[in-house]
Chains A and B, each alone.
Chain A
Amino acid sequence: MSETVALPGFADPVGEAQATFRAVLDAMARPGRLHRAGAQLRAPEPLDQATAAVLLTLVDNETPLWLDPAAGAARGWLAFHCGAVIVDVPDRAAFALALSLPDLAALPAGSHEAPECSATLVLQIAALGSGTRYRLSGPGLREPMLLASTGLPEGFAAVWQGNHALYPRGVDIILCAGDTLTALPRSVSVEEA
């Protein structure tokens, strides 16, 4: 490891990882609902608290991680605290960390026999709860849910629908901003509101 690690991980590794895992689980079950994660954490540049907490919780030495070059500064921290195997090509990744929406088609979408072999994208955006509004509908949502976010590119709904159409294959996204997260599982349909 060439970079020096400057910041600790979770102060209470078991408790905080469990709380974050619960938040991710709830977020996947009820797409679009906002959850808090990692509020106690000092995240390394350029990661937000929720992003760092999700990675600490989910990534380990058995889950290859693809890093957006823009997040390269956090590489040493991730390697140390997660023991993550960092891969250079997204098509081998189990998790992907990005600061702007990457090409979803480049990430593994799983196969019809094993749709669980797809990647989960941890996408850090500018804000959740304000900005462009999207209408989500699908499993987990009795009525369509409105999700407001800042930082998703224009035309995101169309890109997402391409991924959603692959169901049961496809990529899941965990959106993170500050200490807030929400999830877009592949089963959810997104349209601009």
Chain B
Amino acid sequence: MPDALPPEQPHAARRRWMAVLARADADDLAHRLGALPGYQILRGPEAGLVMARGRAGGGGAPFNLGEMTATRCTVRTEQGFVGHAYVAGRNERLTELAALADALLQDPTRQTALLQEVIEPLASMQQSRRDAVSAKAAATRVQFFAMRNMRS
């Protein structure tokens, strides 16, 4: 999944930090957020199923790949910012923390600091983990010359 989104998309920054938060580790995120401010839970955290859809081929229509477990949570901070989180799996603690972080990140007075201290380190950690997996997979890649020649 791409981390950098086209700039014309609205809420691009928020989408990015929500994606980073959703892939974080609960203990790590709690540690980075430090002391938590007061907040109220509006919904959840509750687990449910979402239909994951895929596309086959270049012009393929979407098809239902299968259902996956997801957990969602919505919180509201004392300043009135509402944060949402949707996380794959059933990690309720992470979902609640991610929703709270999303709410705090919308607060202009805290956004810069949180982006620097929480989101960027998490993003680079996740990126390096993905790179390591990609490198491992790339080392065993087989080049099918016959196929390539047929397509070119």
Contacts and interface: CB of A to CB of B under 8 A. Distances in A.
Determine the interface band of chain B, counting residues with CB < 8 A from chain A.
under 10
B69 interface: no
A35 interface: no
A4 B80 contact: yes
Given A80-B43, A81-B43, A5 B80 contact: no
B82 interface: yes
B41 interface: yes
A9 B41 CA distance: 10
B46 A8 contact: no
Contacts, number: 20
Interface residues of A, number: 9
A5 B46 contact: no
B80 A8 contact: no
B62 to A, nearest CB: 20
B95 interface: no
A6 interface: yes
Contacts of A6: 76, 80
Interface of A: 4-9, 13, 80-81
20 contacts: A4-B80, A4-B82, A5-B42, A5-B74, A5-B76, A5-B82, A6-B76, A6-B80, A7-B42, A8-B40, A8-B41, A8-B42, A8-B43, A9-B42, A9-B43, A13-B46, A80-B42, A80-B43, A80-B74, A81-B43
* 9 shortest interchain CB distances as A-B pairs: A8-B42, A4-B82, A5-B42, A5-B82, A8-B41, A9-B43, A8-B43, A8-B40, A6-B76
Given A4-B82, A9-B43, 14 more contacts: A4-B80, A5-B74, A5-B76, A5-B82, A6-B80, A7-B42, A8-B40, A8-B41, A8-B42, A9-B42, A13-B46, A80-B43, A80-B74, A81-B43
Interface of B: 40-43, 46, 74, 76, 80, 82
